Structures are given as C-alpha cells and as structure tokens.
Amino acid sequence: MIDAIRAAGAVAILRMTDHRDGVAVGTALYEAGLRAMEVTFDHPDAPGTLRGLRAALPGDALLGAGTIRTPRQVEQAAACGARYCVSPHTDAALIRAVLDAGLEPLPGAGTATEVATALDAGARLVKLFPAGPLGVPYMRALLGPFRGTAFVPTGGVGHEDVGTWLEAGAAAVGLGSDLVPAVPDDLSRIAARAARVAVQIAAVRRGTAS
C-alpha cells in the first residue's frame, strides 16, 4: 500500500455535504489521473458513496475511508470496500484495529511524539496534519529524526502546491476542499484541478519539477 500511495502521489479527499454526485466526482478525478480517494465518514451518505465508487471504478482505484475514529467505523469501512483508514489523530488502539481488519492505517499526527506513537503502533503511513499551517519546513524537520517516514501532508494544502511537498520528501499529499469543495462545483472544474495535480506528480517523478 505504501508503494501504491507513493505512486498515486495524491489522495483526493471527498468531504462532501451533498453526496448525490459522489460517484460522478470520483469518476472525474480518476479520469483526470488521480487514483487515490478518501471518502470521509462524517456524513451518513459516505458509506454509500464509497460502495458506489468501488463498484464504478477500476480495480486500481485506491479507495479509503476518512475521519475514522472508532473500531465500529473501521468495520464499516472494510465492509464498504475501503483499503485504508484515515484518521485526524493518533490512537494506538485504533491503529491496531485497522491493521486487524486487514486495512492500512493512515493516522493524523502533528508532533514528533504523535509520529513516534503512530509508527510504534504499526502505522507505515502518517498523515501530517494540519500540514498547511505547519508548512513544508516543519515536515523537513520531522524527516530528520524520522528519516524515511512516509508522510502524507494533509489539511490546508492547495492543489497547486503538490509538487513542492513531493519534492520536499512527502510520500503523497492529501487534498481536500481546494480540490473537491464540500458542495462539489462543476465537474469540469474539479477535473481541471485534478489534471493540474497529475501534471505536478508526473513532473516530480520525472525529476523535472521546478
């Protein structure tokens, strides 16, 4: 899963207040070149959207559940076809519950202590959160004592800044409302932003990003 997330380069976060177009949004993202998506489980319609995406998208789509805070939600995410569970916080027991369900944990951490706790509990991916206010230099500093850690900076990261984070050592970047608004706008605009993200990822992978 780490290799798959690294290859994807970005995780599109679908934190929507209206899920009627959830599958259409996910399809637009996938067709624009973004393979990894997280449907946040803080809305009652989110599980249905995740199931719909699993049925609609090809098998290489990396679908996960977000805002996971309880073992019950982990069970629900697994039943809906999630491959990973994203949390806003670090909870060792929750990380173990995700692993026990056969899924990949992606806990949120904002301090060195939280990063260490997440890694010691078995997490192989760590969501640096909130990454926007913390900034790229903060992640670089964490990569000193936590060299090689697969950080996924999330929270306040703009879709035009993906290349900067990847060049600084991020495994991938989590993109929320800047990419997919809570009330999704025109699908063509979402696709255009996703395509811009895909271009940055490709440039970094080729070593041609500025």
Give the tens place of pLDDT for each residue, 27-80.
Answer: 999 999 999 999 999 999 999 999 999 999 999 999 999 999 999 999 999 999
**CATH number reported for the structural domain that contains residue 182 in this entry:** 3.20.20.70
**Could you give the CA distance from residue 78 to residue 101 in angstroms, rounded to a whole number?**
7
Does residue 210 surpass a pLDDT of 60? no
Q: Single out the catalytic residue among 31, 38, 75, 160.
A: 38
Per the structure, the count of domains in the chain is 1
Active-site entry in 31, 127, 160, 167: 127
Contacts of 152 (CB under 8 A, 6+ apart): 5, 11, 106, 125, 126, 127, 128, 170, 171, 172, 173, 174
Write out the two tokens for 39: 């449907």
Contact 190, 179 (CB under 8 A): yes
- Condensed to tens digits (0 to 9), the pLDDT of residues 181-193 reads 998 879 999 999 9
Would you state the pLDDT for residue 25? Answer: 97
The rounded distance, in Å, linking the Cα atoms of 83 and 54 is 10
CA distance 115 to 107: 9
Enclosing domain of residue 166? 2-206
The pTM of the full predicted model, rounded to 2 decimals, is: 0.95
**160 tagged catalytic:** no
Element of type H or E holding 192: helix 187-206
Geometric angle at alpha carbon 170, from 118 and 202, rounded to 5°: 145
114 belongs to the catalytic site: no
What is the model's pLDDT at position 188?
96
Q: How many CA atoms lie within 13 A of 173 on its CB side?
A: 31
Tokens 């944990």: give the residue: 105
